[in-house]
Structures are given as C-alpha cells and as structure tokens.
Amino acid sequence: MYNRLKTKFLGIEVKSPLVLPAGIMDMSFSGLDISARNGAGMVTSKSLTLEPRSGHKGPVIAEFESGLLNSMGLCNPGIVDGLAEIDEFKERSDTPVIVSVFANNTQDFIKITNRVNDSKADFLELNLSCPNVYDEFGIPLAASKNKVYEIVNAVKRDSELPVIAKLSPNVLNIIDIATAAEKAGADALCLINTVGPGMLIDIKMVKPVLFPKFGGLSGPCIKPVALKLIYQTYSAVNIPIIGMGGVTDGEDAIEMIMAGAILVGVGTAVYYRGIEVFNKINKEIIQFMDESGYSLLEEIPRLEKLENATQTSDL
Amino acid sequence: MNKRVTLTIAKIEHETKDIKTFTFYHKLDARPGQFIMLTDFEGGEKPFSISDCTENEFSVTVKKIGEFTTRLFSKREGDLMSFRGAYGSSFFISNTKVLLVGGGYGVPPLYFLAKRLLKAGAEVVVVNGARTEEDLLFDDKFKELNIKYINITEKGDLGKKGTSVSIAKKLLQNQLVPKPQLGNNNHPQAGAWGRENREKFDFLYAAGPEKMMKNLQKFTGDITYEFLLERYMKCAIGICGNCTVDPLGIRLCVEGPVLHKKLVEQLTEFGKYHRDASGKRIGF
C-alpha cells in the first residue's frame, strides 16, 4: 500500500513523505528507530551542539487548549555522542536521517559540519531558528538574511552532505531569508520552526508557567501560519521544502504538499495521537488519494505559485 | 489535555532525615505507579510517583537530592505548588496472591499499590528493604495494612541483615522447589522458610533502585512481574524523547514508568545505563 507514498528527496528515495522533525523523540537511536518503525519516512536528530547541553530548568513545556509551548533549551548530548546515536540508528534502519545541528557562529558550524561528514547521516540540517535561547545567543540567526547567507555558504563549502536550512516563522519577510539560503547554496529548506515565542501565566502563583518564561508555540493552531509561509517560500525558491507546523492528520499533510512541501514534518501530533501517528497519517493520505483519484503521491497538485513572490512583503 | 493544577500543600510529613511526604487535598484520577510533574515555578519541574491517593487527597514522597527538592524541603503547609498529571502507565491490579518488593526510596508507590490490591481482594505480601532502620520508609504505614509484611535492613538493625532481594529470593525460590521434608534440616528451604511459610505468588511487583530490580530479575523464574523504572523526564507527555529506553524506544513517561516483564526483558539498558538531562548515557 505504502508504495504509493514513495517519494524522492534530493535524490534519495523515502517510503513516506512524513518526517520526524528535530526536537521530537530524537534523543536516542531507539527514539529515532521507533518513529521510523511507526511509519516516518525520514527522521531528524535532536539539534546537536559542539558540547553537551542540559537545557533549561523546568517547566520547559506547557500543555494548553490549542497546542504546546516549549522551551527545552537545546538540550542534547553534544555532537560526538549525538552522532554515535545516529550511527547506531543507521545500523538498524535504512530510513534516511537528517542530523540537525545548532551553533551560534560560522566557525562552530564549520567544526560541527566536519564532524557530521564522518557520520552515517544522510542530510545536514542547520537549525538557524531556535526561538528559545534568546538570553544566551540573542536573536535567531534566521532573522537575518546576511547571517543566513554567510553560514549556509560557509557550511556548503565544507559539507559532504546536502544542506537543509531550518527557518523561523518569526521574521518580517520569509522570502528574503529563504532566497538568501538558496543563493548561499542550500539544497533544501525546512520550515517552520515554532511560532512566537509565547507565554502562559499561572494565575494563582503569579508566575510564568515556563521557567524560561517564553517558549515556541506548536500544534494545530500554527498550521495556517505554516501553510502561508511555506506557500510564499515555495513560490519564490527552486529548492525542495520540508514543510511542517501543526500537521496532525492526513488532510493537514495534503495541505502542506499543496502549499509546496515535498516532505511533511509531524511533531507535536505525536503528543495528540501517539507514536503511531505516522502510520495513521500515511493511511489518511492514501485514503484522500483514493477519494480524489490520485494513484501516486506526486500526482497531488500544488497551488499555483504566487506571482511576483520575491516582491511580496510579509507585512 | 492534562490541565495544570495549582494548590496549597495540605500536609507535610517527615519520613526520614531526607525524605518528606507532601499531601494535597485534590481529587486526582490516578492509578498506582503513575506520577505527577511538580513545580514551584522557581526553576525545576520533577516527576514524583504517587505514594497514596484517596477520594479527596493524594501524596507524593520526595527525597532531598538536588536544587529543586532542597527548595521543596523549605516549603511549609499552606505554601502553593503546581502540578500536572497523573501521567504514565500503572500497575496491573491483581486479585490473587502477590509479592511486592521495594527498596529504599522506591517503596512509596508500592504503598498506594498495596492499598489498591487489597481493595481488589488480593493477598498481599510486602518486602520492604533499606540500608538502615532509619532509612526504612513507610514501615508504620505498611504495618497498618492487612498484609504480610517483611522489613529488612542491610545494617541488620531490625534483627537480621539482608536486602529486599535476598528476602524475595527466598520467597520466590520457595515456590519453585519441592516441599521440604519435615525434620530434614539440611534442606535449603528448611528453617525460617519452612512448610507453613510456603508462598505461591501469581504476580510480582517491584520498585526501587534499578540495580536492585536487575538483581531481583534473576529470581523471577516464570512469575509475571512489573517493575517501576525511573528515567530523566522533561516533557512527561511523550514527545521530547529524553526518557526513551533502548532498544525499544518506548517512552518511560507514557508506556512506562511501570513496565511489564515482556518489555523489561527486552531492554538492553536495564540495570546498565540511563540518560542524563543532555541525553548522554550514564552508567548505573
């Protein structure tokens, strides 16, 4: 049945367009593996940094009526141990893996890239858009087209793997940023990271619920924002897009594809529908294809691109 | 969605020099083995097993270990705390003859379990082990229940030296060997665990240090068991991946913390390592 969901991403065949995004179930080889076994066509590691990070003090996550708010704080075992987990995953699975990495400057990105070159990962994703380390590192790199260009360009020179730039929704003009990444040589784009950041308050104790005060918003409520930004980006660039943000069921995934995504990330939906969510959405995509008369995923049409997309301001 | 609840601490009991039980007046829909995430919003949110839960109140038992629990120890009755949960899997409630094995700070959730088992009509035997008499948790509470209760310390200050595993081993092996002959004092099962003490358990439950459970596992034979495991938890809702266990990838905050024998037996990391807040592997 799933043969119908096969697709190609940067020359590599994936069994399903669904991707486990960075930050979800990806601390260990076994977390990646259970996601792949449950129907994810591709998996992404936790964003790895040069040194291990314990992340923020809790509460780092809050459930609320319309989604989740999180500020994990880039916890990860560091590039060495993180890549060892990925290699262990690759020993037991043929599912392609994206290694997500985070650094605050070009030099560290280069150091990390060289480590990744020696791993069994298939793609390198640059997390330019973590919204939760503002206190430590300032405004996310993805907010500046010059920074995005500089880092992607430098990493591309050293990387033996295709490079994906993960972009933030929290920018004035997504097209400026996306085209900067493309010009710098990015092989693909991944968007969106969490929205906001936002906050919640405990009204009895008069305290922010998250200890870091602010956190990135995810879940069904961000889907319209994601669709709009993916559609604008799709209209302006010629490189493939991994689209994500609030995808919870098959119809959401179809919307992402129609907006221009080649692959679709499913993250917070693991909270709503369990780790089986990937297979559930795979089935729902096929159900939609049956109902609409599409025999293969690639037959699903895209929206017509925006005219003059590069001139369209987000404001 | 699990709604966060913020309320005052109703009662604080001193269990040992570094362990306290905090009780909240709140109708919590919880089953034995489940946990809550507790915070004061001052930095730190930690999982705690529910040590008791009745119609209108529940308790958690906390050991002073780090920054968060140290601050928690300075709280007084009437101070506000916030929690979310209950989360996670729970123990199977059997109505047969069951053995509960607890070690050290792991014991409190077994108290909640023992009460629910009794309610279901089970015949309950509890083994409670600690380093010293002073460290023994819930000794009085267990003594008040209609159970067979055995306490033991490594120091031997209750009379005999031993561990909860050494006692459980005798109890479990007793049901596996032939009936001892009367008057045969050389038989390994003669003496303290003589004929009238013979036990036949249908289910085994354990909570405590992982090394203890790893050790106990050797003597489980054919008996079905459930162990309560602990891992570093952050989100408690099954998405961050910090508490997944190898090689299955199951999340201890959702599919655990109570794991059935069939799952425990497949865990390569059981008794060997866990992951810290960064996800780095740490040996036990």
Closest-CA residue in chain B for A266?
B239
Please list every residue in chain B whose beta carbon sits closer than 8 Å to the beta carbon of residue A30: 244-249
Q: Which of A75, A130, A190, A221 is catalytic?
A: A130
Instruction: Work out the angle at residue B40's Cα, subtended by the Cα atoms of residues B34 and B42, and round it to the nearest 5 degrees.
Output: 130
Closest-CA residue in chain B for A67?
B1
Please list every residue in chain B whose beta carbon sits closer than 8 Å to the beta carbon of residue A77: 275, 278-281
* Residue bearing tokens 């509960």: B100
CATH number (domain holding residue B128): 3.40.50.80
Minimal C-alpha gap between A301 and chain B (Å): 32
Question: Which residues 227-266 of chain B have a CB within 8 Å of chain A?
Answer: 234-242, 244-251, 254
Last residue of a domain, one of B60, B87, B114: B87
CB–CB contact B6 A52 (8 Å): no
Residue B280 pLDDT: 96
Predicted confidence (pLDDT) at residue A100 exceeds the cutoff of 80: yes
Taking a C-beta distance cutoff of 8 angstroms, is the pair A243, A191 a contact? yes
Question: Which residues 177-206 of chain A have a CB within 8 Å of chain B?
Answer: 202, 204-205
Write the residue in B6, B46, B244 that is nearest to A25 by C-beta: B244
Q: Which tokens belong to A158? A: 């050293």
B71–A contact, CB cutoff 8 A: no
Residue A311 pLDDT: 63
Minimal C-alpha gap between A62 and chain B (Å): 8
Domain match, B109 and B204 both: yes
Domain match, B120 and B181 both: yes
Q: Residue A130 catalytic? A: yes
Domain match, B74 and B120 both: no
Cα-atom radius of gyration of chain A, to the nearest Å?
18
Residue A134 pLDDT: 81
A63–B contact, CB cutoff 8 A: yes
CA distance to A38, B53, B68, B178, B200, per residue, from B175 (Å): 41, 33, 44, 8, 5
Any idea which fold A2-56+77-199+218-299 has? TIM Barrel (3.20.20)
In a domain, B168, yes or no: yes
In a domain, B92, yes or no: no
Write the residue in B6, B82, B244 that is nearest to A28 by C-beta: B244
A89–B contact, CB cutoff 8 A: no
pLDDT, tens digit (0-9, with 9 covering 90-100), for B194-230: 444 456 899 999 999 999 999 999 999 999 999 999 9
Predicted confidence (pLDDT) at residue A8 exceeds the cutoff of 50: yes
Q: Which tokens belong to A88? A: 């262990």
Residue B120 pLDDT: 97
Write the residue in A52, A58, A70 that is nearest to B45 by C-beta: A58
Domain match, B240 and B206 both: no
Domain match, B102 and B83 both: no
Write the residue in B234, B244, B251 that is nearest to A58 by C-beta: B234
Predicted confidence (pLDDT) at residue A217 exceeds the cutoff of 50: yes
In a domain, B224, yes or no: no
Domain that holds residue B60: 5-87
A24–B contact, CB cutoff 8 A: yes
Residue A262 pLDDT: 98
A248–B contact, CB cutoff 8 A: no
The region of weakest confidence among A44-48, A50-54, A103-107, A133-137 is A133-137
Residue A132 pLDDT: 81
CA distance to A72, B35, B61, B72, B254, per residue, from B19 (Å): 29, 17, 7, 11, 26
Spans in chain B with pLDDT lower than 70: 175-199
Residue A135 pLDDT: 80
CB–CB contact A31 B241 (8 Å): yes
Predicted confidence (pLDDT) at residue A1 exceeds the cutoff of 60: no
Write the residue in A30, A52, A202 that is nearest to B248 by C-beta: A30
* Residue bearing tokens 């050797």: B218
Last residue of a domain, one of B176, B192, B217: B217
Residue B178 pLDDT: 39
For testing contact with chain B, the best of A20, A24, A27, A35 (most B CBs within 10 A): A27
CB–CB contact A27 B37 (8 Å): no
In a domain, B261, yes or no: yes
CB–CB contact A204 B241 (8 Å): no
Helices (H), chain A: 29-37, 78-92, 106-117, 134-137, 145-158, 174-183, 223-236, 250-259, 269-273, 277-292
Q: CA A119, CA A160: separation in Å to the nearest integer? A: 10
Predicted confidence (pLDDT) at residue A192 exceeds the cutoff of 60: yes
Predicted confidence (pLDDT) at residue A139 exceeds the cutoff of 80: yes
Domain extents for chain A? 2-56+77-199+218-299
CB–CB contact B37 A82 (8 Å): no
Report strand pairing: A61-64 vs A67-70: antiparallel
Taking a C-beta distance cutoff of 8 angstroms, is the pair A52, A76 a contact? yes
Question: Which residues 161-200 of chain B have a CB within 8 Å of chain A?
Answer: none
Last residue of a domain, one of B19, B54, B87: B87
Q: Which residues contact A138 (CB under 8 A, 6 or more apart)?
A: none
Residue B123 pLDDT: 96
Residue B176 pLDDT: 44
| Number of domains, chain B | 3
